[in-house]
Amino acid sequence: MSVKLRKVAIIGTGHVGSHVAFALATQGEVDELYMVDKDEAKALAQATDVNDAVSYLPHHVTAKAVKAEEVGDCDILVMSAGPLPNPDQDRLETLGSTVEVLKDILPRIKKSGFKGFIISISNPADVVAAYIQKQLNYPKEKIISSGTALDSARLQRLVSETFHISRRSLTCFSMGEHGGSAMVPWSNVAIAGKKLDELQAELPERFPQFDRPKMVEDMKFGGYLVLQGKGSTEFGIATSVVELIRAFFHDEKKVMPMSCLLTGEYGQHDVFASVPAILGKDGVEGILTIHMTPEEKAQFDASCDRIREYIAKAETY
């Protein structure tokens, strides 16, 4: 009897990719890490650094630097190659540079025979997921972008700080684009199962009103706050991706926001956008359609339109 080891390939081992790799190692969610980078010396350095940490981890992990053509037997591929946005730049503006990287790497991944689950975190994440899916002609249930998983964590932090309530007691998430058009379906925000709107009406002193549009803007600005201060986001995106990978490896059937290919859900077609979805060992096992107010639905539709515009633009590079 042989035991199957959990193998994850990280494509792009810079600030973001390396932190995903180390978060996987420290949380015990991987057995073998395959590190791929156009800078082979960097990939080797990152793999060696992880291996040096194993003596003080509670379990064994093996990391190695490989070429893209060698990732075929991995279970999961995390696409983190491409440039980070500048602090004054919209994520969508990095599309051209990222597509150039993908044109080189995707044929090599295809050559490897990789058939596993793909998580795109390269910017702009939703558009890149759509581009990869089309170029590889990949099954829609086997590719996602992390999308607004991180935006939702930022939103949960803001709501938690406002009401001094544990984040674990919140149902609170963002939808649409991982970027400037992200929206929040406030009508679905709840604390311990009770809608926020009801709590604010019934217990106004404990749950006072606040500026919801400003909180959405603060949520969207969160990444740029980190980017301006230290040059890249690392810890938040890494733990968001590990949460997705954990749901896959342990067949958790976990519901959380992620960017999936919509084929009629919410009235949307041919667009990757973040929605609540069920993630298990077979990938995206279902998309949950929540009720939104007309205003929220209009915001979500506008976000999808913006993503779709750039999906079309990606084909022109």
Q: Per-residue pLDDT averaged across 249-256, rounded?
A: 98
- Tens digits of residue pLDDT in 287-312: 999 999 999 999 999 999 999 999 99
Across the chain, mean pLDDT equals 94
Candidates 183, 203, 129, 218; CA nearest to 293 is 183
**Domains of the chain by start residue, with CATH:** 7-145 (3.40.50.720), 149-314 (3.90.110.10)
Q: What is the pLDDT of residue 103?
A: 95
Q: What is the pLDDT of residue 92?
A: 74
Q: Active site residue: 178, 250, 269, 291, which one? A: 178
Q: What is the pLDDT of residue 226?
A: 79
Told to judge if 291 belongs to the known catalytic residues of this protein, a careful annotator would answer: no
| Residue 231 confidence (pLDDT) above 90 | no
Pick from 57-61, 277-281, 284-288: least confident: 57-61
Provide the residue type at 304 as one letter.
Answer: C
Instruction: With cut-offs at 50, 70 and 90, classify the pLDDT of residue 88.
Output: low
Q: What is the percentage of the chain residues whose pLDDT exceeds 70?
A: 97
- Tens digits of residue pLDDT in 26-60: 999 999 999 999 999 999 999 999 999 999 998 99
